[in-house]
Structure 1
């Protein structure tokens, strides 16, 4: 018999909206971690995992994208918090940069399902258009055509901005030779992302110890000249 009608099925809870919302997010999180990505998560699977009926989800979330974006934005917030906590414990800008990057890599290796899911759905949010795409009113004939909006990925870009800021401070302290924090941050992020994915997909390779490897990678790509 389908799980949706099984004998152990709980009735939908009434008057517990906040709790039910958390149950839905917890169910989606469990499925993402179990699958190792978000691609196979559906509303039906979330409802089954949370032991509720699928229609009851719509009282709390607009659709599947709304649920997954909420969960993944939370993951990015957790990642940023881990980076900041590690960075703030150090006494030089270069050490702070390296500590934050080590925290990034450890987050990825300790939570591989969450980490893969973060980038599986790296796309502009529906709020990027500011609502203009849903308007039925045509532009006046004399109005110029506006360029497409830039992607808006708040939680995701907050993490990247943290890296840009750390590199900028390291350069300003005279501990890194670069002059373009944005470009150097792109290089560091690409290098770290590739490094952790390779470690996940080729675990039998004799990889160096994670923290030491990340330090070496970041020192080279961020052009760090002085750590102490």
Structure 2
């Protein structure tokens, strides 16, 4: 698997008035450039050029690149939260819902490596305060929903251990798999579905009560 970045064609300059669509284009470009050049190396000019805007026009959508990063992080958490809500509504035993939540989290990371990297693996000093604010508002909500299912499974006698430690350990395992695969693309990884299944089989075999 190659770690090389495939260049993306720049958009021609487009007319004004595209609203949310234009903001989405800017965020997609910022996401690519933050990963390719690093947050510190990314500039408003580079992002504006990527979407065919002048820097002045880009400032009509975002105050600065810090705001763009915060919006990317917020969007990542909100997408994960929405996926969790769908799983929480299923009529399944808590340990089944728990495993499906972890699988969905890992799958999201594999399918959106740039957004995941920026949300979980990047904490530039310039954006630290805002990124922490985003995590407090939406990231904590995401983890609380997950931890509540762990608590339910422990209370029902389906999983053994301290609920807080179990929740943190499962999340750490999923995060470790995603972050390693994102940051070490040159390693000869097994198929991602096989990796996910093997990791979770081992985790739940140790946690489930017989």
**Please, what TM-score do these two structures have when normalized by structure 1?**
0.69
Task: State the match for 2:177 in structure 1.
Answer: 195
Q: Is the 8 A contact 1:23 1:50 kept in 2?
A: yes
State the aligned residue count: 193
Task: State the match for 2:82 in structure 1.
Answer: 81
Pairwise CA RMSD: 3.2
Runs of 4+ more than 4 Å apart: 15-19, 36-40, 205-208
- What CA distance in whole angstroms lies between the structure 2 residues aligned with 1:127 and 1:194? 20
Q: 1:83 to 1:40 in 2, by over 3 A?
A: farther
Q: Is the 8 A contact 2:32 2:114 kept in 1?
A: no
What is the CA-CA distance between 1:193 and the residue it aligns to? 1.3
Which has more helix, going by share of residues? 2
Q: SS of 1:125's equivalent? A: helix
What is the CA-CA distance between 1:206 and the residue it aligns to? 4.5
Q: 1:158 to 1:52 in 2, by over 3 A?
A: same
Q: Is the 8 A contact 1:12 1:53 kept in 2?
A: no
- Deviation per residue, 1:87-145 (Å, 9 max, x gap): 544510000001111111111122222221221335442785xxxxxxxxxxxxxxxxx
Q: 1:19 to 1:87 in 2, by over 3 A?
A: closer
Task: State the match for 1:160 in structure 2.
Answer: 143
Task: State the match for 1:118 in structure 2.
Answer: 119
**Please, what TM-score do these two structures have when normalized by structure 2?**
0.74
Q: SS of 2:159's equivalent? A: coil
Q: 1:41 to 1:206 in 2, by over 3 A?
A: same
Q: Is the 8 A contact 1:38 1:120 kept in 2?
A: no
- What CA distance in whole angstroms lies between the structure 2 residues aligned with 1:166 and 1:194? 21
Q: Is the 8 A contact 2:30 2:47 kept in 1?
A: yes
Q: Is the 8 A contact 1:105 1:196 kept in 2?
A: yes
Structure having the higher Rg: 1
Q: Is the 8 A contact 1:36 1:114 kept in 2?
A: no
Q: 1:107 to 1:152 in 2, by over 3 A?
A: closer
Unaligned ranges ≥5, structure 2: 1-10
